[in-house]
Amino acid sequence: MTSIQAIRGTRDILPSEIGNWQMIESVARQILGCAAYQEIRTPIFEQTSLFERGIGEATDVVGKEMYTFNDRGDRSLTLRPEGTAGVVRSYIEHGLHAQGGVQRLWYTGAMFRYERPQAGRQRQFHQLGVELLGSSDGRADAEVIAIATQILQTIGLKDLSLHLNSIGDASDRQHYREALVAYLTPFKEQLDPDSQTRLTRNPLRILDSKDANTQAILGNAPSILEYLSPASQTRFDALLALLADLGISSTLNSRLVRGLDYYTHTVFEIQSADLGAQATVCAGGRYDGLIPQLGGPETPAIGWAMGLERLVILLQHLQASPPSSVDFYVVSRGEAAEAQALKLAQSLRQAGFKTELDLSRSAFGKQFKRADRSGATACLILGDAEAESKTVQLKWLNSGEQSAIAQADLLANPQQLRQQLTQRST
Ligand code: ATP
Ligand code: MG
């Protein structure tokens, strides 16, 4: 019988790789907590129309990449391709805006897009993102960018670059759109097929094309920055000054766009030169028009999302996933000893010591080998003699030192035991 394999574009994250994932999550959780962001968890599937309205029908994501199906009640549902739409739906549905002031939210989880799988591009992948809702202040833009930078730095990534642009307000973009279409129309036949369609549906997105020929044609295209109104320009200059003040350097990239009507002003990406074609590890922007578009009150907002697979790939270039280290490995042999070993292991766990119990019943020699391989700091040994005397042999695996101790005394002073483990674990 052929065995069943994981679906194309999905990956198992195995125990040997989980260390980096857990490290990223705990760093992010800690940093976001300090910045007073609260976690929100929304469902993995939603009504299809949420994404059609919340991401836009003219985008690749909605047009080509969604996992959409009818459920048994004939409702059209979609596995979430990104996090913002669900968070905004929840924000409106639960009246989080009515709580006044600013809401700072973050999320993490699996996202689904029907794409061609490559390194750093999967069909089920994971994002971590933030949304800051209820402020149009430039400091909100600077804050979310600073937090993204802080997370990436803290997990140990270097050589990342922040690319920044302003796409102005709806009227700036209308003028720019006309200029861009006027420039591109004579080249229409030479554009890649997607860009040809976008010329009428969503011309700003052409700037995002990965086709080399289209990119060459775009070389002389007008820049959005020439179409910013004085107010939009002032806002953008202020953001640049705030970022400089925070010590965050950025590269102006007038090609960076979010080609939808409800995106406004700030857009940014954080890229790594170390990832080949899948260079962007974090992407975000201001979406002042989205909440009304989804039926909520006028609410300015900004957010970003990071692709966790790409962060893990970068970390793997730097170091192996941190190994999990066990405090105690418990070996035992003989009926009474085995029963006592289970009890002892359980009380160690309850006291917060990471304890692995050997269940093999094999000869002591084999169990000791496994103890060594486990990376444990100490081995606890129970045989017939120890079971009889209610003692246990404590062996420090680094030095080989070994002594007997009454089982009842092992946890008499947990703090001291913890200190011993720390001293001996190097
Ligand atoms: P790309 O241009 O790489 O397709 P995108 O503009 O579609 O990216 P966003 O929707 O802005 O990506 O998502 C934010 C981040 O999520 C991306 O910068 C990337 O790190 C990650 N990401 C997006 N799609 C995938 C995917 N299919 N597999 C892995 N990570 C992804
Ligand atoms: Mg994409």
pLDDT digits 0-9 by tens, 62-107: 989 999 999 999 999 999 999 999 999 999 999 998 777 899 999 9
> Which ligand 1 atom sits closest to the C-alpha of 304?
14
Cα-to-centroid distance, 209 and ligand 1 (Å): 14
Cα-to-centroid distance, 61 and ligand 2 (Å): 7
Q: Under 8 Å CB-to-CB from 82, ≥6 apart: which residues?
A: 55, 61, 111, 127, 305
Shortest-distance ligand to the CA of residue 258? 1
pLDDT (0 to 100) of residue 426: 67
Fold for the domain defined by 328-425: Rossmann fold (3.40.50)
Q: Under 8 Å CB-to-CB from 192, ≥6 apart: which residues?
A: 209, 211, 213, 214
Alpha carbon distance, N-terminus to C-terminus of the chain: 47
CB of 305 sitting under 6 A from ligand 1:
yes
CB of 115 sitting under 6 A from ligand 1:
yes
Among 278, 287, 304, 313, which residue has the most ligand 1 atoms within 8 Å of its CB, making it the best to mutate?
Answer: 278
Across all residues in the chain, what is the average pLDDT?
94
Q: DSSP labels for 304-327?
A: EEEEHHHHHHHHHHH-PPPPP--S
pLDDT, one tens digit per residue, over 280-302 is: 999 999 999 999 999 999 999 99
Fold for the domain defined by 15-169+229-318: BirA Bifunctional Protein; domain 2 (3.30.930)
pLDDT, one tens digit per residue, over 239-275 is: 999 999 999 999 999 999 877 778 899 999 999 988 8
pLDDT (0 to 100) of residue 44: 98
**What's the CA gap between 378 and 371, in Å, rounded?**
8
Cα-to-centroid distance, 134 and ligand 2 (Å): 27
* Residue whose pair of structure tokens reads 């980096």 in the numeric block: 20
How many helices (H) and strands (E) are present in the chain, helices listed first? 16, 16
% of the chain beyond a pLDDT of 70: 99
Q: Looking at per-residue confidence, does 208 or 154 come out higher?
A: 154
CB of 271 sitting under 6 A from ligand 1:
no
Q: Is residue 132 within 8 Å of 302, Cβ to Cβ?
A: yes
Among 67, 112, 125, which residue has the most ligand 1 atoms within 8 Å of its CB, making it the best to mutate?
Answer: 125
CB of 283 sitting under 6 A from ligand 1:
yes
CB of 278 sitting under 6 A from ligand 1:
yes
AA letter at 218: L
CB of 11 sitting under 6 A from ligand 1:
no
CB of 59 sitting under 6 A from ligand 1:
no
Q: Name which of 258, 357, 315 is nearest 54 in CA terms.
A: 258
Shortest-distance ligand to the CA of residue 67? 1
127 is in an annotated binding site: yes
Can you tell me the mean pLDDT for 38-51?
98
> Which ligand 1 atom sits closest to the C-alpha of 120?
29
Q: How far is CA 229 from the centre of its chain?
A: 35
Can you tell me the mean pLDDT for 320-337?
89
Q: Show me where the domains of the chain are located.
A: 15-169+229-318, 328-425
Shortest-distance ligand to the CA of residue 280? 1
Q: Is residue 129 within 8 Å of 306, Cβ to Cβ?
A: yes
